[in-house]
Structure 1
Amino acid sequence: MDLNTAMKVSASGLHAQSVRMRVIAENLANQDSVADNAGGAPYRRKLVTFANELDRAMGVNLVSPGRVQYDQSEFGLQYDPGHPAADDAGYIQTTNVNGLVEAMDMSQAQRSYQSNLNALETSRRMASLTLDLMR
Structure 2
Amino acid sequence: MGLSTIFNVAGSGMNAQSQRMNTTASNIANAETASSSSDQTYRGRHPVFATVQASVLAGQGAMPNGDDAAAGVQVTGIVESQAPVQPRYEPNNPNADEEGYVYYPNVNVVEEMTNMISASRSFQVNVEVMNAAKQMVQRVLTLGQ
Both proteins in one fold, TM over 0.5: yes
- Partner Cα separation in structure 1 for residue 122 and residue 48 of structure 2: 15
In the alignment, structure 1 segments of 5+ residues that lack a partner are: none
- Alpha-carbon distance change, 38 to 25 in structure 1, aligned in 2, over 3 angstroms: closer
Query: Cα distance 1:80–1:11, how it changes in 2: closer, same or farther (>3 A)?
Result: same
Using the size of structure 2 for normalisation, the TM-score is 0.84
Q: Which residue of 2 aligns with 1:103?
A: 113
- 1:40 deviation in Å? 4.7
Name the CA distance, whole Å, in 2 between partners of 1:97 and 1:125.
Answer: 42
Q: Does residue 1:80 correspond to 2:79, yes or no?
A: no
Q: TM-score, normalised by structure 1?
A: 0.89
Q: RMSD value over aligned CA atoms?
A: 1.9
**1:52 and 2:62 correspond:** no
Q: 1:112 to 1:6 in 2, by over 3 A?
A: same
Q: In structure 2, what residue type is equivalent to 1:4?
A: S
Q: Supply the distance in 2 between the matched residues of 1:71 and 1:40 (Cα, whole angstroms).
A: 13
Show structure 2 runs of 5+ residues with no match.
57-61
Following the alignment from structure 1 to structure 2, what is the Cα–Cα distance between the partners of residues 99 and 127? Answer: 42
2:33 aligned partner: 33
Counterpart of 1:113? 123
8 Å contact 1:40–1:85 — kept in the other structure? Answer: no
Per the alignment, residue 59 of structure 2 pairs with none
The answer to whether 1:132 aligns with 2:135 is no
Count of residues in Structure 1 that have an aligned counterpart in Structure 2: 134
Amino acid at match of 2:25: A
